[in-house]
């Protein structure tokens, strides 16, 4: 994947299995085998999912004997929340201004009660 960081994070979390992995890693670190156990896919498939999460910066893998404990890196969430909040605020600001406009010219725009249509 040669996409921008934001696309990588959104794309990584667009898969339900990967979101579930993130949810479980929020509770405790785990190895690939442990993570793969609940799903009916091969360990290799889960390893690929973890690579996607790692490329997105959502998890990190250390080394501990043969095991590679997977650890959740929650800081990257900020990237998304910042993006989301920015445009949500902007959209809400629009509504607020629209309300102002409607309040300033109620006769022209707002349907008046009792006005025959």
Partner DNA sequence: TCCTCGTTCAACCTCGCGGTTGAAGAAGAC
Partner DNA sequence: GTCTTCTTCAACCGCGAGGTTGAACGAGGA
Contacting residues toward a second copy, per CB under 8 A: 3-4, 6-7, 10-11, 13-16, 19, 22-23, 25-28, 72, 74, 77, 80-81, 83-85, 87-88, 90-92, 94
Can you tell me which residue has the tokens 């102002």?
Answer: 100
**Distance of alpha carbon 103 from alpha carbon 100, whole angstroms:** 5
Phi and psi at residue 52, to the nearest 5°: -60, -45
Closer residue to a second copy (CB): 36 or 59? 59
Measure CA 54 to chain center.
Answer: 15
Closer residue to DNA (CB): 80 or 101? 80
Residue 50 within binding range of DNA, rule CB under 7 A: yes
**Cβ distance 80 to 9 under 8 Å?**
yes
58-117 binders of DNA (CB under 7 A): 61, 63, 65-68
Between CA 75 and CA 90, with CA 81 as vertex, the angle to 5 degrees is: 155
Which positions lie near DNA, rule CB under 7 A? 1, 11, 14-15, 17, 31-34, 40-45, 47-52, 61, 63, 65-68
């Amino acid at each position: 994947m040669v996409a921008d960081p934001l696309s990588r994070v959104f794309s990584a979390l667009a898969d339900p299995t990967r979101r579930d992995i993130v949810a479980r890693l929020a509770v405790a670190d785990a190895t690939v085998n442990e993570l793969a156990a609940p799903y009916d896919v091969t360990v290799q498939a889960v390893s690929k999912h973890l690579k996607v999460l790692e490329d997105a910066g959502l998890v990190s893998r250390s080394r501990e004997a043969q095991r590679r404990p997977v650890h959740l890196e929650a800081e990257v969430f900020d990237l998304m929340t910042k993006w989301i909040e920015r445009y949500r605020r902007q959209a809400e600001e629009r509504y607020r201004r629209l309300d102002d406009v409607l309040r300033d010219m109620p006769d022209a725009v707002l349907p008046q009660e009792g006005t025959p249509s």
